[in-house]
Amino acid sequence: MQITHSIPELRAALASRGKPAFVPTMGNLHDGHLSLVRIAGQHGDVTVASIFVNRLQFLPHEDFDSYPRTWDADCAKLESAGCDVLFAPREKDLYPEPQVFKVQPDPLLADILEGEFRPGFFTGVCTVVMKLFSSVFATTGGGAAVFGMKDYQQLMVIRRMVQQFALPIEIIAGNTARAEDGLALSSRNGYLNTSEREQAMALSQALKSLAEAARRGGTPLAALEAEAMAALRAKGWAPDYLTVRNRSDLLAPADATSGTNAPLVALGAARLGNTRLIDNLEF
């Protein structure tokens, strides 16, 4: 695996190697990330991953400084998963001057759910992803990029951005990787203490119950969502949202009563102790 740090170094490494398949990460890698790298290996001539903890997508009170950096382990995992080229820019490489030009996503999609509770988050995500895309694909004529479905709204935002800017990049979704008890794999799971880890699968269970109730019908979705939030609070969680939305646009279904056969997704975000977890379930 070749390791590059600057944009010119990365582009030189990719010269004459065909179409890249790219997996952007913030490091502290787990099996979910590695599954995306393996998917990328099936969709390009050269498999590229990046490690960059992006300051622009963290709010002032969030964990930018304490976000786990596990460089040696990450490199070993990426190489074992078939990564050919790792792009690991320093902040001065990706942002040599203050990043005053930013990508502002559609507020109808980006200012709800995660965007409501983390204002500016998707502006930071889109800006860094656009810059990473430029670094990887500007001289290759396009390629593919793989994102995980655990970050469901992020996947939709990136897809919309690529469509709006007519970027020659195919966005591929990788299924959410889960532990045996159903907990979605996340770099932030490492923040959970032993007791919290034993309780952490309650979020995925709550979403499954919410989806099942929504499909059964007969009850307004708002009531089901309120019940799901209350049940999670009773277990010691602090939920931001547990909700049912259209898969197509993440807006509330036109029929506010459950029982529809439309393609829907249950999404949730909740804090357990000091750790904020997110998850989703299509149904």
Give catalytic residue positions. 33
Identify the residue whose tokens are 């304490």: 66
* Three-class SS state of 55: helix
- Give the integer Cα–Cα distance in Å for 213 and 198: 25
Task: Give the Cα separation of 243 and 279 in Å (integer).
Answer: 11
Q: How far is CA 240 from CA 22, 112, 196, 206, in A?
A: 31, 12, 18, 13
Instruction: Give me the helix-helix angle, 202-216 and 221-234, nearest 10°.
Output: 160
Q: How far, in Å, CA of 276 to CA of 278, rounded?
A: 7
- Whether residue 216 contacts residue 249, with contact meaning beta carbons closer than 8 Å, is answered with no
